[in-house]
Structure 1
């Protein structure tokens, strides 16, 4: 006679209730709790998708849907590798299971062995678990069908979490990533490697279409609460990774959920960028060991990686905090005294870095650059997580960094794009639930009520594919860089992009002519500049840009043929020899204002004898309409020097800008005037891009009426409470705040403001995002008045703020 405990009886009852639903589950009519793992795909078109149908405190029931995209039917030998961890399967159906715990293999039964093309079959199981939140993981899927030509295989590797002092000494982290490759590998060929990293986001979600990610328990425990699933943050870039794998790349997309998302940061690394970057290097170390044969390749990857990875051709892609993290990894690997070159079996050459809406917080006061490699950043014009577009700043800095060879730097300012929807797993827009999208004065590429945007993802796919095919791989096509170079036409697509470009290299590739680094009225070469007519030109740091960037603010202009600004680089009778250069580059932008008309001015070169070339209208090369949301990015105009008839290119002493068109109360900003050489391959001269065929994005409207003011942050006042105020040691006070609306994990940190005091030292106990605990230094607490207002937001530009009323200092617990 069995003596079942109360918990065992409860689990058995819950399992029976779940099993009673299985007929409905098996035909797909029951709404699942959610899918926490997107489909893995074998080399022969077989994919496996995991669905959790029910959960209770000590167990779950799940289905694996096996689909066949091969043109032939399976003959009955497909298999799926699963890891159920410490769980124990106590009931299963429609599959033959090799075991009941740990890593197991499931093969079909007779009823579901044959899967016709474009159809699916499924099997299921229920398991008991020792602690709440443990979920099964699909490791790989395969069948007896031959590999599909041009297809892509997707698998995952995941190792147990552990404290890794080199990555993060405070939290357990894990090596977990999805791996994408061509289905057919050529004998003896090494493949270029791309490594992706996502940004900061909750790790547990609930519901479907959309899934609401409002818990972070997995970050510290490796489990999620009942009725939650693990958020597969790393699978949000499948749309890029699969395309690139089909073009001959190995792609590894890293999951940083465990440990990394638990940390609150430190004074020198508030956004936990260092641990992210070092985790990426750990993945490179493990990949190199599989490639060298020092360790066997995990069988779930479905291929032996021995001597298969070309570490001389590596590219990195990062989104949000992941963008700055891949930049950190690049710099950490190159740092003098870095341990990573010795740990990684093969020397690594990172040929290109692609970032999407990145942070730029820096490390211990040092900002990170991407010099000596190709670099591009997507700046989403409707980003309301990082509304000040800090990804602009590395471009600003790198304009002035000399390199031994020209490796282009560019920005790609996408109108209508937000922060979140470049990751297909981030299913809620980053504006706010009050209906604010972050798009000011132009139309969205997304519907904030939909859980993602195919149109926005297409902007990222096109750019990523072009960038990596141009810069990474022994067989790269450098002509694809034309997408980022304003010297070439932009393709006919239903969205608008403003482009900034710098060819990189040294003065032989990009000669600085004017950077406005000297006081107003003095050129960068120490000579007096010249103005005529009614015009004001002030040399000034430019708002929203890196502090290292200076520019000219041109305002109070009375238009006319005699109204001009002239930058002088050499004294009369002398000049610079520009015969070895191809273009005159300058960055310019218009101020935001009520007038939607485009600004314009004429550009002339000034010869040594003070004669001038023919005039070129800037609007032939650069649109100077109102910038979206009022923020200047200073896109680049690249004017062929051959356009300036009458210029004596062997001796040019200055450039003149003449303002014949009224600015109608607006002003202009200028920066970085350069003479540059063309570095994009001549093959791109026709403006034709490498083939990137895909379904067309839906048509959109590109403009709204100008003059919309920036909306206020949505203020949350109901459901908020100051739960407790207590001492935390001798030097700090802990404030615990709760809200009915969860505190999302974003690219920026939460900021507590109490009166005039601020704190970003925050944590969410047990991963509960409805609760946040802040530490306030005791000295700051003592400076507060008896009653002070308490708010929480995401800092400057935050789309949302929580009001908690007033803090009563007498509430401090003894």
Structure 2
């Protein structure tokens, strides 16, 4: 091999948990090779037909995390790495010429990738967030235990009790039951699914080439036992809770085409099938104990980490199979969203820990962004709950040092990674404080959505109410009220009329990097790319910029929308532009038909235009849209029967820029969690490679029925890590015009005469509009005919 010592000159921007694109990892490049000097962890870079194969061999297995590991060359991340079965070898194929100049190759995680890189200007705001505004306390605290005693029991049907589609491996069927003693009748059921963590722990005296069942000398990590707090809070108030184990999926999902989402969904549905049987005719480990105790038509799902994508997928698969179970509420907790899946037709709240050191780009934000207007007529309520000072792991006691039986860690990574998240920072939550927040919001959400306990609405409607048990935690909620309780004015996702902006101001719609480019990885959750949907458009917002105090953005209400007396508040989402001045503010002015007006500074009702904490690196500060909520009762003198215009005025700060989204009138409400949209699915395809020219693998994408509205879904190839890849990259919108039910996505296949293996690849569907994704991955197989 030939050694290289040329200085590294190319930087690949890392988007949160992923690189800029799979194309960067797999595209064809020139042929060069290099090698490294001996080291504890050895590496090499070799020539391959598609560019460079970078390999890192580790002394110890790579940590089991939700995020995908990155390989960095000369300190700069160049791509997502494929792990070997024993997790000691990391490999990627890249066309990045930095690989040819390698002096050093290291494993890095997304939360590590930005160390030493300064974020955009904006100034330190840590002091404000240590004493940030807080709303009123609720009279009823969802974190408190209720009137029922809680009885717990576990069931274990074996380590290889069920074969999981999407994984090709057998999984354990293990769960912990939390039941309210003496509660009469059928009770709502909440299922908890943990995320990607180590499957086994202990001294491995006889290494095995199979990571599951646990090798001799090791034990399964009991991650499913880590949610006692919220489980007991729910059960003591009359809810049945089952927390299930998914260690087998964690052991094998590295090789799954969708990172294990389908397998996790199937496991959830398998447990629901068991409980349907056990609660009707009995049997299994409990006999007749739970007959008549579970309401399988009133089900909530909580998924943590990769479990979050699993429960989102479970809701979609359940709907596709005729809604055998009444999944009415889904709570992804610190989730991944690798495939940009919308969650229409069910109540949803996404909990985002600000100091997440694993899913550091807070990609779960996209569940809200992608779902909120995806289906016309969707009546479900949804929200995001951002918890400052919270990390990824501590919501699960079995992932928390000092509480877990297996080794565990603070995923933020210790000191020096940015003050707002350091372990000793005053705003950082201790483990038990964080778990108390999780208990309050998990229990409150399911009691609200499954039990109709409306006293908890203020926790999730954006009005800043607090639960006493959440303690000092600073929490920010963004909410979309149910359709029946909401009147949308504008989503700010389309160009405004020419006369809407006057004075020295501009309003421009932006998407993705057109909105924000930052050197701080993971700091733009709305706009960072997803792993299987690198090119699908992200959230469109309006960027309002001004250079003096004369700017006005004016929205005129149509006649049929002027009477707003039935609503409680006017609200929108907003965030300051980090490239603008440190201080940003606007005035909201509401004018009626007689010219009477009320003006409210944004800063008087919200800190949405205050920069979130952090001014260093590692994905801080986050650029998140937050709620500006103006109670209509505060608009004194304005005739709410005849509201004519809503203005956003730049009279507070002489120069600035802000992002705007989702302006609406709303009132609190539970809504109706049902949609009748068509289903979209992609079929598998097999094609011969051929000897010359280009052939095509034609994936058929179908709608379950015609519709009167256009349906759009995005399709993108997901390619394996292969030295020779005959498949071309494809990323396109698939549009069904009204009446159409079939479209074709053609993926080019480059013919050759080399004798090689058959090649598997996938077509991923994402970010649907006016349809529900059911089968979202099509499997492609290229048959080698040489």
Flag whether TM exceeds 0.5 (same fold): yes
Cα deviation code 1:299-319 (max 9, x no counterpart): 4x8x71112111232111111
Match of 2:555 among 531, 554, 567: 567
Q: CA deviation at 1:464?
A: 0.9
Residues 361-372 of structure 1: pairs in structure 2 closer than 5 A: 361-362=338-339, 367-372=340-345
CA deviation after TM superposition for structure 1 residue 621, in Å: 2.2
Residue 170 (1) aligns with residue 165 (2): no
What is the CA–CA distance in structure 2 between the aligned matches of 1:658 and 1:242, rounded to whole Å? Answer: 49
Structure 1 residues 403-446: Cα deviation after superposition (integer angstroms, max 9, x where no partner): 76743211110001111111111234464656355x55466588
- Residue number in structure 1 paired with 2:439: 461
CA positional deviation for 1:176: 1.1
Match of residue 298 from structure 1? 285
Quote the offset at 1:175 in angstroms. Answer: 1.1
Counterpart for residue 245 of structure 1: 235
The 8 Å contact of residues 445 and 456 in structure 1, kept in 2 or not, is answered as no
CA distance in 2, matches of 1:402, 1:245: 34
| Cα distance in 2 for residues equivalent to 1:383 and 1:286 | 34
Confirm or deny that 1:659 pairs with 2:650: yes
Distance 1:575 1:315, change over 3 A: closer
Q: 1:264 to 1:435 in 2, by over 3 A?
A: same
Q: Of 411, 417, 435, which residue of structure 1 is paired with 2:415?
A: 435
Residue number in structure 2 paired with 1:540: 510
Aligned equivalents of 2:450, 2:350: Cα separation in 1: 16
Shift of 1:320: 0.8
Task: Name 2:394's counterpart in structure 1.
Answer: 421
Structure with higher RCO (Cα < 8 A, 6+ apart):
2
Is structure 2 residue 201 aligned with structure 1 residue 201?
no
Q: How does 1:189-338 map to 2 (within 5 A)?
A: 189-206=185-202, 220-226=211-217, 228-267=218-257, 269=258, 271-293=259-281, 295-299=282-286, 304-335=289-320, 338=321
Q: Please say which structure displays the higher CA radius of gyration.
A: 1
Contact 2:176 2:225 in 1 (8 A): yes
Q: In the aligned structure 1, how far is the partner of 2:472 from the partner of 2:427?
A: 19
**TM-score normalised per structure 2:** 0.58
Match of 1:495 among 461, 470, 473: 473
Structure 2 vs 1, CA of residues 224 and 612 (structure 1 numbering), >3 Å: closer, same or farther? farther
TM-aligned CA deviation for residue 544 of structure 1: 3.0
Distance 1:548 1:595, change over 3 A: closer
Segment drifting more, 463-472 vs 148-157: 148-157
Q: In 2, distance between residues paired with 1:218 and 1:486?
A: 50
Give the superposition deviation at 1:360.
1.3
Q: 1:616 aligns with which of 592, 600, 606?
A: 600
Distance 2:456 2:350 in 1: 16
Question: CA, structure 1 residues 642+595, in 2 after alignment: closer, same or farther (shift >3 Å)?
Answer: same
Task: Note if contact 1:219-1:258 (Cα within 8 Å) is conserved in structure 2.
Answer: no
1:590 to 542, 554, 576: 576
Q: Alpha-carbon deviations, 1:499-523, whole Å to 9, x = none?
A: 1011122xx532221222333xx24
Compute the RMSD of aligned alpha carbons: 3.8
Q: Which runs of 5+ in 1 are unaligned?
A: 1-147, 208-212, 342-346, 682-729, 732-757, 762-773, 783-814
How has the CA–CA distance of structure 1 residues 548 and 578 changed in structure 2, closer, same or farther, with 3 Å as cutoff? farther
CA–CA distance in structure 2, aligned partners of residues 448 and 600 of structure 1: 25
Contact 2:166–2:260 (8 Å) recurs in 1: no
Could you list the per-position Cα deviations for residues 359-399 of structure 1 after superposition, in whole angstroms to 9, with x for gaps in the alignment? 1122xxxx423322221111111112122211111211232
Change beyond 3 A, Cα 1:404–1:516: closer
CA distance in 1, matches of 2:719, 2:409: 24
For the pair 1:387 / 2:360, whether they are aligned, the reply is yes
Matched with 1:517 is 493
Task: Name the counterpart of 1:725.
Answer: none
Calculate the TM-score normalised by the size of structure 1. Answer: 0.56
Deviation at 1:291, TM superposition (A): 1.2
Distance 1:449 1:585 in 2: 29
The whole-number CA distance in structure 2 between the counterparts of 1:468 and 1:613 is: 40
State whether residues 202 and 216 of structure 1, in contact with CA within 8 Å, keep that contact through their aligned partners in structure 2.
no
Say if 1:383 and 1:430, in contact at 8 Å, map to a contact too. Answer: no
Alpha-carbon distance in 1 for matches of 2:588, 2:207:
55
| 1:632-678 C-alpha deviation (Å, 9 max, x unpaired) | 221122212232234343443431112222276x5321111112233
Summarize deviations over 1:737-773 as a string: whole Å, max 9, x none.
xxxxxxxxxxxxxxxxxxxxx9995xxxxxxxxxxxx
Distance 1:540 1:612, change over 3 A: farther
Aligned length: 506
Kindly provide the CA deviation profile for residues 256-298 of structure 1, in whole angstroms up to 9, marking residues without a partner as x: 112453132444x2x21011001100000011111121x5141
Counterpart of 2:482 in structure 1 is: 504
Going from structure 1 to structure 2, the CA distance change for 1:678 and 1:614 (only over 3 Å counts) comes to: same
Once the two structures are TM-superposed, the CA of residue 584 in structure 1 deviates from its matched residue by 1.0
Partner of 2:135: none
